Amino acid sequence: MYITKDTDFETIATNYPYLIAPLLEIGIKVIECGDVKWGTLGEEIKKLNLNLEEILEKLNKIVEEKGGPEKSFNLKL
């Protein structure tokens, strides 16, 4: 399982950017005011009173189809 209730939004935005649109479709914002939101996916799902298991299953299915996390790197300049 790639995405869990403890996955933070920074990890999603960095490693799984293709999940941002599906999350927006169900009402979960990963980015607000141009910055990555603080907190975990599980906290937000609980706050919005959504079905955790259903959302995790959907997101992990998308990740499987996409082949896992995107490779990324940060340049320290």
Reported as a single tens digit per residue, the pLDDT across 19-52 is 999 999 999 999 888 788 999 999 999 999 999 9
Q: What is the pTM of this model?
A: 0.85
- Asked if pLDDT for residue 7 goes beyond 60, the answer is yes
Rounded to an integer, what distance in angstroms lies between the CA atom of residue 47 and that of residue 75?
Answer: 35
Amino acid identity for residue 18 in this structure: Y
What pLDDT does 33 receive? 83
Estimate to the nearest angstrom the gap between the alpha carbon of 59 and the chain centroid. Answer: 8
Reported as a single tens digit per residue, the pLDDT across 50-71 is 999 999 999 999 999 998 998 6
